[in-house]
Amino acid sequence: MYINDVIRQVRSYYPSEYDTDEMYIWCDEVSSMLIVEDRHTYRRMTLPVSDDGSFLLPEGVDMENIVYVISGGTVVNKEDMREYGNRKFYVKGLNGKVVYNPVRRPVSVEVDYLVPYQPIRRVRYHGGVTLDKENSELRIDVCEFIAGDTVRLTMGDETIEQLPVLGIRYDDGYILSVPLGSLDLMTETKSDQGLIVRVVTDLTVCPPPFDSMYTDYILAKINMYQRDMESYNQFMTAFNSRLAAYKRWIISRMPKGEGRFKNWW
């Protein structure tokens, strides 16, 4: 189900004073919980190693997301700087000795990591917009959009509701490429107060019939903030029931890692 369909359902069942952005945040809470706890996705990237032996993790990936670092065909244990690459010896009555373990610096390393959850991107641009109808391009000053986004463009009294962004480049400003002919109906070609908003096209993390947990969770949050705890408990019970059913369903279907004993020979 699309996230916007979830919000439309909620408003149909229970009209409230809470706006779309607040409901997006609550949808993020459900999605991030499922991604982090249950629906794990892993990726492998090859990263270059700098002269000092360090390398940059992929954007948004923290140390807790790292599963393996593979250097020269060897798995490097995940340790902090107190332990990494050193061996310590202790003899009774003497101070501890450290033997540094020099390793050959690799050109690159492979990193296996748990893909972190990416929140719903609520991107909005308000400022100067210039249209190039002949080349089907928009020029703006600041850009947080990415290729593949669908945006809503407003200039004066004219609006295009669904405008796919095919590509973005920089040439003394950000230039967004859109489908040929999609700007032909716009009469204005330049505006200092143009508005471009990303249309949220995100899906729920879980498929039907489990996606109804998003609706239950948002309804529970609304009733919690309205201090209607009886209704809150009812919706949370429905949410937890659907969540438990989803966990049972996904356990037998998600790929599993290799299982083995440690220190057994």
Kindly report, residue by residue over 144-154, the tens digit of the pLDDT.
Answer: 999 999 999 99
Structure-block tokens of residue 69: 């670092």
DSSP secondary structure code for residue 53 in this structure: S
If you average pLDDT over residues 22-27, what whole number do you get?
A: 96
Q: Is the pTM of this model over 0.75?
A: yes
Q: What is the mean pLDDT of residues 105-113?
A: 85
Question: Is residue 265 pLDDT above 60, yes or no?
Answer: no
* Cis upstream peptide for 179 (omega within 30°): no
Q: How confident is the model at residue 31 (pLDDT cuts 50, 70, 90)?
A: very high
Give burial (CB, 10 Å; 0-12/13-18/19+) of 22.
middle
Q: Quick one: pLDDT at residue 75?
A: 84
What are the tokens at 215?
């609706």
pLDDT for residue 88 is more than 90: no
Give me the residues paired with residue 99 across strands. 87
pLDDT in the model for residue 240: 97
For position 32, what pLDDT does the model report? Answer: 95
Q: What is the mean pLDDT of residues 180-207?
A: 92
User: Which range, 1-10, 70-79, 98-107, is most confident?
Assistant: 1-10
> What is the structure's pLDDT at 249?
92
pLDDT number for residue 86: 65
Mean pLDDT, the chain, integer: 88
Q: What is the pLDDT of residue 154?
A: 94
**Mean pLDDT along residues 45-57:** 84
Residue 110 CA to residue 222 CA, distance in Å, equals 45
The confidence band for 96, taking pLDDT boundaries of 50, 70 and 90, is confident
Residue 198 has pLDDT above 80, yes or no: yes
* pLDDT score of 143: 94
